[in-house]
Structure 1
Amino acid sequence: MDPLLAHITDTSVIIKMNNSQDLNVDCTVAEIRAQYDDIASCSQAKAESWYHSKCEEIKATVQNHVRSLRHSKEDLNRLNQAIQRLAVRSCELETTKERLEGASGSAKGKLAWLEAALQQAKEDMVRQLREYQELMVVKLGLDFEIATYRKLLQGEEQRLGLGSGAGSVAPGTAPDSGPARPLPPGADPGLLETSAPGGGCALCGSPGCASDFSCRGSREY
């Protein structure tokens, strides 16, 4: 209404007077009233047109805002859903992390246990190897003593004449051992030979052994 009032205020009315004639007040007032009615009608039409145009603009603006608000709500809902999915995924990842950390700790514990078991096995192997070497030394000594006592017994049998005949054994040879093999320099043929009956070394049992003190093997039983 303010633009209408401003338009009415700015409107000027021009009245022409003819002094040469008699004044007709009623006719003049009717004309002025008709002009004001026309001006008012025109102003009202303009005001109504302006009002309708403004209403349409406001309606269009409201509709645009409503659409924007609806789109914003849809975007917000999608973002909320994405946040919920990310939160669930974060919980799953946290659970997976804890499970992997537990598995890693268990694997580290198993690795430490295996390393300890390996170290213990190495120590046991070293101890058993040492014991085996000691046993081999004892066995080698026993085999040498057995061979020595055997040669002493053979020498005693030869001295008493029990080995005469088909089963006689010459010094430096063993029964059924084939041709006599040479003894080490300085060795007593009746006491220090380490040949076993049937051929082979009394210490290692190998037919190709030199049958002297250089033998370091052990006889397999």
Structure 2
Amino acid sequence: MDNSRLVLQIDNSRLAADDFRVKFESEYSIRQSVESDIIGLRKVIDDTNMGRMNLESEIESLKEELIFIKQNHNQIAQSGVQVDVDAPKGQDLAQVLAEVRAQYESMAQKNRDELKAWHENKLTEVEVEVIQNTEALQGARTEVTELRRQMQSLEIELESQRSMKASLEDSLRDTEMRNNMEMERYNNMILQLEAELGQLRGNIQMQASEYEALLNIKMKLEAEIATYRRLLDGEDFRLQDALVDQSSTKSIKKVTVTQTLVDGKVVSESTNTKEIGK
């Protein structure tokens, strides 16, 4: 019963160890997948940072171009160059220049507004993407930390199961050794008891033979006593018949029992009965 319980515990420990091994491999695979996702997110963040740097560089270039355009405009406005314009009669040159300046400033303002809106839109998109990537990275880090903690817990539990398995195997070996010793002792006892049983059987057969011989003697004596009683009672029979009856009862049976013992065991037995007359 103890052996069965130990074997069952060992089997349960093996199954638990296999289960923990499968869980460990699964968690390890998940961890590798998360680490791969983290590497991909880091690349996305790097690409985002690079794109932001490119956008900032483009913005700075556009700002410099806008400053250059403003400077050229101011230089043109402040220059004293006389320009001959074939204009219709009565048209003021200053008015024409003012209209050109106003149109140019309107276009420049439109470009500035569009550039500012585009820059703000791109900056917002980059900020949203950075926030999303940061949250995803933080979630991945948290998940990796939790998986690492679970993996350490599983490794500790697996080591505990291995130690318990080794202990149970040692106990099983000790129990098997004790059982083998007990079985050997019981086998020796069985051999000894079988030898004693064979001897007892021989003694019983001998006693049975002696009992049968005594029984025959008793029957002979009872027959003789009965004969003498008939003589004493005066029964009418011939002496010769009495002598014949008496002689017929005088017989002894000789019973010979032969046994063959091998390692204390009776392997063969024979009985020989012989009637001997007296």
In the superposition, the TM-score normalised over structure 1's length comes to 0.55
Q: 1:213 aligns with which of 259, 265, 272?
A: 272
Partner of 1:69: 134
What SS is found at the alignment partner of 2:180?
Answer: helix
Alignment gaps of 5+ in structure 1: 19-26, 174-188, 195-211, 216-221
The Cα offsets for residues 170-207 of structure 1, whole Å up to 9 and x where unpaired, read as: 5676xxxxxxxxxxxxxxx533356xxxxxxxxxxxxx
CA contact (8 A) 1:172 1:193 kept: no
The equivalent of 1:191 in structure 2 is 252
Corresponding residue of 2:164: 99
Whether the 8 Å CA contact 2:254–2:273 is kept in 1: the answer is: no
Higher strand share: 2
Moved more, 32-41 or 106-115: 32-41
In the alignment of these two chains, the number of paired residues is 173
* Residue equivalent to 1:17: 84
- Mapping for residues 1-221 of structure 1, pairs under 5 Å: 1-7=63-69, 16-17=83-84, 39=104, 42-43=107-108, 45-148=110-213, 164-165=227-228, 190-192=251-253, 213=272
> Hey, what's the Cα distance between the residues in 2 that align with 1:147 and 1:171?
19
Change (3 A) 1:170 1:112: farther
| Structure 2 residues without counterparts, runs of 5 or longer | 1-62, 86-91, 231-241, 256-270
Give the helix-richer structure, 1 or 2.
2
Distance 1:42 1:214, change over 3 A: farther
Percent same amino acid among aligned pairs?
A: 6
The structure number with the bigger radius of gyration is 1
2:216–2:253 Cα contact (<8 Å) kept:
yes
CA distance in 1, matches of 2:229, 2:174: 74
**TM-score normalised by the chain length of structure 2:** 0.46
Higher relative contact order (CA 8 A, sep 6+): 2
